[in-house]
Chains A and B, each alone.
Chain A
Amino acid sequence: MQLFILFLPFLFALFLPLIKKWGKGHLGYYVIPIPIILTVYYSSFIGKETQYESISWISALQVKFDSQLDGLSLLFSLLISGIGIFVLFYSIFYLNKKERLHQFYMYLLMFMTGMLGVVQADSVISLYVFWEVTSFASFLLIGYYYEDRISKDGAFKSLMITIFGGLMMLGGFLILSNVTGTMSIREMTAQAAQIEQSSLFYVALVLILLGAFTKSAQVPFYIWLPDAMAAPTPVSAYLHSATMVKAGIYVVARFTPIFAATAVWGNVIAIVGVVTLCWGSFFAVKQKDLKGILAFSTVSQLGMIMSMLGVAALVSYTNDTSTFYQFAAFAALFHLVNHATFKGALFMMAGIIDHETGTRDIRKLGGLLSVMPVSFTVTMLGTLSMAGVPPFNGFLSKELFFMTMWQSKEALPLGTLVFAAIWLASIFTFMYSLYFVCGTFLGKRHTLPKRPHEAPIGLLVAPIVLLIIGLIIVFRPNVVADLLIKRAVVSIQPTLFESASDVGVHVSLWHGFSAEFLWTLGVIVLGILGVLTLKKWQPMYEKWPEKWTLNTLFNQVISIGDASFTKWSRHVMTGKSRQYFTFMLGMVSMLLLFVLWKKGAFAFSWEGASTIHIIDGLLVVTLVAGTIIVLKATTRMTAIIALGVVGYCVALFFVRFQAPDLALTQLVIETVSVALFLLVFRNLPKKIKEEQKQKGKWLRLLVSASVGLTVMLFAMAAYSQKLLPTISSYYKETVLKEAGGGNIVNVILVDYRGFDTLFEITVLAIAGLAILGLLRSKKRKGDARDESK
């Protein structure tokens, strides 16, 4: 059942073309039950023990598809299916009925299964496969408007980076499974100590982190995420803020029990996370595109969650439960949930503004407050949550974040500096949040591509409900925490907490005038100051030369790679089939000779060899002479006749070696073949002589001679070494009794090995049809030309 539900979106996607054909109304209405079913199904798992189900895929390699629902998986599964409902609902109103909706929903459903598969997989291979499915679905969705160059480039960039990361991660997985001898993450976790002893421990660590960082858009791999905004807005809200980009976070969380045995894991994640947090928030203020701001904001928030997970891993490493920072993992997951609510809502609002005004350029927007008051309110509430202003859910987790980072100063290298950096980043977060709202809704109104008016209620429902969920979290934070998050924390830090009740954290809105609150207050004051003076300092972003950006680096790497590989492949792939053939045959003969020599196959024995009759000698001479004539022939007629001679000689050999069936067949077929050759060749040039350059000739002779020699030695070796007894005695003994025949060869063909024959005549029929097609296609073309005349 678990696995069926996991594949449900995927299976449903198969029916979309049919629904598109016969269904009426917007396709989204047919799809929306799927995430609702998923959400209800996964809700029923809340509070239950870990459930596991699997189905074998490649049993010899222990590869299987499986679904494991522990706390962490359940949290993510609910997030994916729950946000999915809102996104689908929003997309019904956002996307026009005339668009290629069946493709859109097909990709979206494919993503859903992929993402659920990632977070529920226990087998690393299953995890990897689903991981790539999400990358691929993301690629297809970003490139949804494929006529658009920006979409195409964005899709390409995201695919390059995430597939690169995926492959790295696969390498890490394979190392882990090689060390532990299992594909299961649970069993790997049980052998964590053994993994740490391995010499490849750090290689695996780096490889897996590369996968996680590319997917979760950490510096310096984040560059694909802003470009992914070319996707339709529901996709940005779903894949590129709420779910897919959190796959990296999931992997970090899932593998923390394995890698937390060293401080390196936690330190690297925390530092990369903090750098990403600062980088993203700093550059968000530079953006002109509404979705661009949100994209950089997502980058920065992902960095923030990542850094908290890093701290959590350090806690697991030190086993230090004296201070609050033991709850870093809790803070990370809590923020992850909050982020999904407010960022999803904000993306939808950006889409609404785009929809109603025709532009997302913040320089052209402004003064929309009077015409779009509802949108303004929703956006405002969302951004305040994003900025971490009380009393919104973003504030709750932001405060936990401050607390964690403040208290982990000693644990992290350069802890104080790190804290200063994140505080500064929070100021920038506040600034881009206000910048987003004020730039859009306040100030002077410009002329817009469309006459702006309030969005239809259908579009607004999804973001409003998301915000309401956010508000529920504010008032009842511990319900969510107790039901979902604490159990997930147990999955991340099994050594610290045995059960959900051990995670002794209690979230409350008001802590009094604690240090964290003062930090927040400072952020707000400085942030407001920054926004007021934005016009003065924003131009400084332009000072940075375009040449020195990560995007330019990426483009250069791609174009240099492109050019050099083109050059290289041009060099090797000359388009001359003879050259390829020379390489291939030369290699085959060398390899074969090497293996024969290595295996000691050159011990020839001629025991039981038959004697040479005078007729044999004559046949051999005729055969060789015929072949030489074919080689030397300069006209087609000579060559065909000589080839016929060779064929008849072979037939006579069959007579000689007691194979009457073969002889008969060969004789008739040779006759028909010669007729065919004559039929075809009469339309071709008479002369088949060729000019041959001296240089190529020797190579050609060498390769041909080496192939001939190899085959000769191979034949001799094969005759001399009989490793296994022949199975022919079986046929000889059973042919009359069981198959009721006397001609063993024919009985083998029609009875013992009937399958071979069935396929053989099928191949023959296909060859006949191909010939018919080749000759008919020309006729049709010729007819068309005649008509046009």
Chain B
Amino acid sequence: MNQNNVILNTLTYVVFFMIFLFSIHIFLAGHFAPGGGFVGGLLMASGLLLLYVTFDLETVRKMLPINYSILVAIGLLFALGTASIGLVAGDAFFTHYFNHFQLPLLGDSELHTAMLFDTGVYLVVVGVTMMIIESIGGDQ
């Protein structure tokens, strides 16, 4: 609808990537600082929402050909699978594990299975929000 507004279009690209990066940051930071899968996912969704506001629905669909229902399903399976790791290892359902690793570039980092679970949450939140917005927006 606003395809001729050059300033908005250009700004949207910039802002979208800022939101996108911030969303990733806040998601990864979640275990030690405020943030996490919910906030990260919602931020990501709001960034996508900005794209929809700026461009046409069809244009965005061409830019990001993502089927959000499948994204939701992947997220749910991810969460469930992570929760089941404990079962395989012989512990209770939902047992999480963590340890410190020396990673190249990043140095000493703590890796955590809870993070994988949070990834599932992230995907579901993005997927559902976008699913809702897309289906309402596409319903004319």
Distance of A589 from chain B, by nearest CB (Å): 32
Pair A775/B45 contact, Cβ less than 8 Å: no
Interface stretch among A217-225, A416-424, A635-643, A665-673? A665-673
How distant is the Cα of A743 from the Cα of B39 in the complex, in angstroms? 13
Pair B36/A668 contact, Cβ less than 8 Å: no
Q: Knowing A750-B114, A754-B83 touch, does A762 contact B36 (C-beta < 8 A)?
A: no
Distance of A372 from chain B, by nearest CB (Å): 68
How distant is the Cα of A378 from the Cα of B79 in the complex, in angstroms? 71
Contact of A754 among B117, B127, B131, B139 (CB under 8 A): B117
Pair B114/A768 contact, Cβ less than 8 Å: no
Q: Mark A754-785, 1 if CB is under 8 A from B, else 0.
A: 11011001101101110110011011000000
| Residue A664 interfacial (CB < 8 Å) | yes
| Residue B112 interfacial (CB < 8 Å) | yes
Contact of B39 among A668, A768, A772 (CB under 8 A): A668
Contact of A743 among B31, B94, B115 (CB under 8 A): B31
Pair A739/B79 contact, Cβ less than 8 Å: no
| Residue B60 interfacial (CB < 8 Å) | no
User: A771 — nearest CB in chain B belongs to which residue?
Assistant: B132
| Residue A661 interfacial (CB < 8 Å) | yes
Pair A755/B94 contact, Cβ less than 8 Å: yes
| Residue B24 interfacial (CB < 8 Å) | no
How distant is the Cα of A220 from the Cα of B46 in the complex, in angstroms? 73
Which residues from chain A contact B36 at a C-beta distance below 8 Å? 661, 743, 745-746, 749-750
Which residues from chain B contact A775 at a C-beta distance below 8 Å? 135-136, 139
Q: Knowing A740-B98, A743-B30 touch, does A679 contact B125 (C-beta < 8 A)?
A: no
User: A778 — nearest CB in chain B belongs to which residue?
Assistant: B139
Q: Knowing A743-B30, A764-B124 touch, does A665 contact B38 (C-beta < 8 A)?
A: yes
Which residues from chain B contact A778 at a C-beta distance below 8 Å? 139
Pair B49/A672 contact, Cβ less than 8 Å: yes
Pair B79/A772 contact, Cβ less than 8 Å: no
Chain A residues touching B, range: 35 or more
Which residues in chain B, 2-40, are within 8 Å of chain A measured between CB atoms? Answer: 26, 30-39
Contact of A758 among B53, B69, B80 (CB under 8 A): B80
Contact of B136 among A669, A757, A771 (CB under 8 A): A771
Pair A761/B136 contact, Cβ less than 8 Å: no
How distant is the Cα of A772 from the Cα of B73 in the complex, in angstroms? 14
User: A680 — nearest CB in chain B belongs to which residue?
Assistant: B136
Pair B30/A761 contact, Cβ less than 8 Å: no
Contact of A672 among B45, B76, B121, B137 (CB under 8 A): B45
Contact of B42 among A665, A754, A755, A765 (CB under 8 A): A665
| Residue A747 interfacial (CB < 8 Å) | yes
Chain B residues touching A, range: 35 or more
Contact of A679 among B129, B131, B136 (CB under 8 A): B136
User: A757 — nearest CB in chain B belongs to which residue?
Assistant: B121
Which residues from chain A contact B139 at a C-beta distance below 8 Å? 775, 778-779
User: A754 — nearest CB in chain B belongs to which residue?
Assistant: B94
Which residues from chain B contact A19 at a C-beta distance below 8 Å? none
Contact of A765 among B26, B76, B135, B136 (CB under 8 A): B76
User: A758 — nearest CB in chain B belongs to which residue?
Assistant: B79
Q: Knowing A664-B39, A740-B98, A755-B94 touch, does A747 contact B131 (C-beta < 8 A)?
A: no
Contact of B131 among A739, A757, A772 (CB under 8 A): A772
Q: Mark B64-101, 1 if CB is under 8 A from A, else 0.
A: 00000100110110011001000000000010101000
| Residue A603 interfacial (CB < 8 Å) | no
Pair A679/B133 contact, Cβ less than 8 Å: yes
| Residue A675 interfacial (CB < 8 Å) | yes
| Residue A373 interfacial (CB < 8 Å) | no
How distant is the Cα of A764 from the Cα of B45 in the complex, in angstroms? 14
| Residue A676 interfacial (CB < 8 Å) | yes
Which residues from chain A contact B83 at a C-beta distance below 8 Å? 754, 758
Q: Mark B101-140, 1 if CB is under 8 A from A, else 0.
A: 0000000001010110110110011011101110111010
Which residues from chain B contact A665 at a C-beta distance below 8 Å? 38-39, 42
Which residues from chain A contact B46 at a C-beta distance below 8 Å? 668, 671-672
Pair B127/A739 contact, Cβ less than 8 Å: no
How distant is the Cα of A671 from the Cα of B118 in the complex, in angstroms? 22
| Residue B51 interfacial (CB < 8 Å) | no
Pair A664/B79 contact, Cβ less than 8 Å: no
How distant is the Cα of A750 from the Cα of B120 in the complex, in angstroms? 10
| Residue A751 interfacial (CB < 8 Å) | yes
How distant is the Cα of A747 from the Cα of B124 in the complex, in angstroms? 18
Question: Which A residues have a C-beta under 8 Å from some C-beta of B?
Answer: 660-661, 664-665, 668-669, 671-672, 675-676, 679-680, 739-743, 745-747, 749-751, 754-755, 757-758, 761-762, 764-765, 767-769, 771-772, 775-776, 778-779
6 pairs of residues in contact across A and B, judged by CB atoms under 8 Å = A660-B34, A665-B42, A676-B133, A739-B96, A745-B34, A750-B37
Question: Which B residues have a C-beta under 8 Å from some C-beta of A?
Answer: 26, 30-39, 42-43, 45-46, 49, 53, 69, 72-73, 75-76, 79-80, 83, 94, 96, 98, 110, 112, 114-115, 117-118, 120-121, 124-125, 127-129, 131-133, 135-137, 139
Beyond A672-B129, A749-B38, A757-B121, 11 additional pairs, beta carbon < 8 A:
A661-B36, A665-B38, A676-B136, A740-B110, A743-B32, A743-B34, A750-B118, A755-B94, A758-B83, A768-B131, A775-B135
